[in-house]
Structure 1
Amino acid sequence: MAVEIEKKYLLSGDGWRAEVVSGESITQGYLSMDREREVRVRLVGDGAAFLTVKGRRVGPARLEFEYPIPAADARELLALCLGAPLHKHRHHLGRTPGRWIVDEYTGANAGLLVAEVEWDEGQAEPPTPSWIGPDVSADPRYSNASLTRTPYTSW
């Protein structure tokens, strides 16, 4: 059993850009998205692909199970997803404590930048850097599943 613990934030400035160590393009969609579970298909960069099942969120935590799948299968599954596929560029940050990423959305969600931090069960929540803005973890509009149904540009 795997537990994902994360928080999501808007950004306050471009200070995060100096901390980028790598990045990749991501296309993802959802085969199921309800209050109890999400089933996500993700295609990363040049061909890595994953099927992920996430349970209901309890605070910043929820169950998460992720499995590699063939890229060809991911492309077929993306065509079966609910809503429009989500497109973003994920920036991995390396100088800030915790596992921080910034997602820079494109397409129907262009203009949206969201930072996420993950930490392991039993560890303290990492400190927030100066470039972090409001915590939007509890705002359902910012979930990736919601963005496939109601894109940022339509708000």
Structure 2
Amino acid sequence: MAKEIERKFLVSGQRWRTFANEGVAIRQAYIVAQDDRSLRVRIYGDGRARLTIKVGHTALVRDEYEVEIDRDEAEDMLRHAVGTIIEKVRYKVPHEGYVWEVDVYSGAHRGLVIAEVELTSIHDDPELPNWVGREVTGESQYSNQSMALGTSDSARLHQLA
């Protein structure tokens, strides 16, 4: 069973950009969204598309299953989106043996920047880069699902960032 173990942080400043790759644009939509599970479709700016199922009640550890799908089928699935389509650019930033993913949101969530780090164990304790701010793991307003469904206050999120 595939497990996703990740921590999320607000990003402070632009220092991370010095170490980031060129980034890839992502559009994502939720086809099914419930409290403990979701079905998401993502379309990447490099031509890939992926379907993801996430199951679990906690933000730190969830079951996650991903499969590559046809881009045209993914585009068609966007018609069935629950809520709004999330738009962001994801950058990969290596730091002290971990690869951080920094999401810079556009559209309705323009101005929000969140960093995630995937872990292999809940006991992993990565060195935090000096460009991350407050940890927001488990704060539902910072989940993509909440943002897509409009259950988070976008203006408030940007004030906190």
TM-score (norm 1): 0.92
Q: Quote the residue 1:19 is aligned against.
A: 19
2: CA distance between counterparts of 1:107 and 1:152? 14
Q: Quote the residue 1:85 is aligned against.
A: 85
Verify: 1:55 aligned to 2:51, yes or no.
no
Residues 16 and 146 (structure 1 numbering): CA distance in 2 closer, same or farther, change over 3 Å? same
Verify: 1:116 aligned to 2:143, yes or no.
no
After TM superposition, list the pairs within 5 Å mapping 1:6-155 onto structure 2: 6-58=6-58, 60-121=60-121, 124-150=124-150, 153-155=154-156
The answer (yes or no) to whether the contact 1:25–1:90 under 8 Å persists in 2 is yes
> Residues 10-63 of structure 1: CA distance to partner in whole angstroms, max 9, x if unpaired?
012222111102310000000111112011000011320000000114351110
Instruction: Report the AA paired with residue 23 of structure 2.
Output: G
Q: 3-state DSSP class of the match of 1:22? A: coil
Instruction: Report the AA paired with residue 73 of structure 1.
Output: E
The runs of at least 4 consecutive aligned structure 1 residues that moved more than 4 Å come to none
Residues 40 and 83 (structure 1 numbering): CA distance in 2 closer, same or farther, change over 3 Å? same
Instruction: Report the AA paired with residue 109 of structure 1.
Output: H
When the two chains are superposed, the root-mean-square deviation of aligned CA atoms in Å is: 1.6
Residues 96 and 15 (structure 1 numbering): CA distance in 2 closer, same or farther, change over 3 Å? farther
Percent identity (aligned): 36
Q: 3-state DSSP class of the match of 2:130? A: coil
Which runs of 5 or more structure 1 residues have no equivalent in the other structure? none
Worse-matched range after superposition: 50-59 or 19-28: 50-59
Instruction: Identify, as 1 or 2, the structure richer in strand.
Output: 1
Which runs of 5 or more structure 2 residues have no equivalent in the other structure? 157-161
Tell me the CA shift for residue 130 of structure 1.
Answer: 1.1
Residues 48 and 39 (structure 1 numbering): CA distance in 2 closer, same or farther, change over 3 Å? same
The answer (yes or no) to whether the contact 1:29–1:84 under 8 Å persists in 2 is yes
Q: How many residues align?
A: 155
1: CA distance between counterparts of 2:39 and 2:117? 21
Q: 3-state DSSP class of the match of 1:102? A: strand
The answer (yes or no) to whether the contact 2:5–2:122 under 8 Å persists in 1 is no
2: CA distance between counterparts of 1:42 and 1:109? 17
TM-score (norm 2): 0.89
